[in-house]
């Protein structure tokens, strides 16, 4: 089957226009190649973009009865990713102490002389929370400026089977 993105877009938009009501196959199939309707709807259903009702078993070539767009389908059509994008935001919170410990561990692992290590660690421990936060942002900036050094790590983490 040829995947026709225009047909997919047309079907999803038609279903979105009728949301939350399902659309009967005869109505949905207007202006769509009849050979593409059932396979395209089945494909979109497998991705969770539509809910479809087929007469009998789909693998027996059973025809589509009706289809309805899902919330995920509506979000797919949205320019901003919809509500799913908002809900999928991950917030990472690190306490000042944790940030200090991370920086301190790097200082201690560095090639600085022991007196210099002690001096930096002591100064780090005296920093107020806002200054620590500012320092961390600056360290992140430096890290991003040297992204090419982090690229192998990213490739490893996002390789063929990225962790979930």
Q: For the chain, where do the domains classified as CATH 1.10.10.10 start and end? A: 5-87
pTM for this structure? 0.54
Q: Which of 36-50, 79-93, 104-118 has the lowest mean pLDDT?
A: 79-93
pLDDT tens per residue across span 36-46: 888 899 999 99
Res 46: pLDDT: 93
Is there a contact between 50 and 42 (Cβ–Cβ < 8 Å)? no
In 3-state terms, what secondary structure has residue 133? Answer: helix
pLDDT tens per residue across span 128-147: 878 888 888 888 888 888 88
The share of the chain scoring above pLDDT 70, in percent, equals 92
CB-based burial, 22-45: b 16+ in 10 Å, e otherwise = bbebeebbeebeeebbbbbbbbbb
82 pLDDT above the threshold of 90: no
Res 164: pLDDT: 47
For range 26-44, the mean pLDDT: 88
- For the chain, give the mean pLDDT: 85
60 pLDDT above the threshold of 70: no
CATH of domain 5-87: 1.10.10.10
pLDDT tens per residue across span 4-25: 899 999 999 999 999 999 999 8
């Amino acid at each position: 089957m040829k995947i026709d993105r225009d047909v997919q877009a047309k079907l999803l938009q038609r279903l979105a226009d009728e949301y939350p009501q399902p659309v009967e196959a005869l109505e949905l199939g207007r202006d769509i190649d009849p050979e593409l309707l059932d396979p395209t709807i089945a494909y979109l259903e497998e991705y969770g973009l539509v809910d479809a009702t087929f007469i009998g078993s789909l693998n027996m070539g059973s025809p589509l009865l009706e289809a309805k767009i899902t919330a995920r389908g509506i979000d797919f059509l949205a320019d901003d990713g919809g509500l799913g994008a908002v809900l999928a935001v991950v917030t990472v919170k690190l306490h000042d102490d944790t940030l200090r410990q991370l920086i301190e561990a790097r200082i201690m692992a560095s090639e600085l002389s022991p007196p210099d290590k002690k001096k930096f660690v002591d100064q780090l421990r005296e920093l107020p929370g806002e200054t620590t936060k500012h320092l961390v942002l600056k360290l992140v900036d430096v890290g991003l400026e040297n992204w090419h050094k982090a690229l192998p790590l990213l490739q490893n983490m996002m390789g063929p089977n990225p962790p979930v």
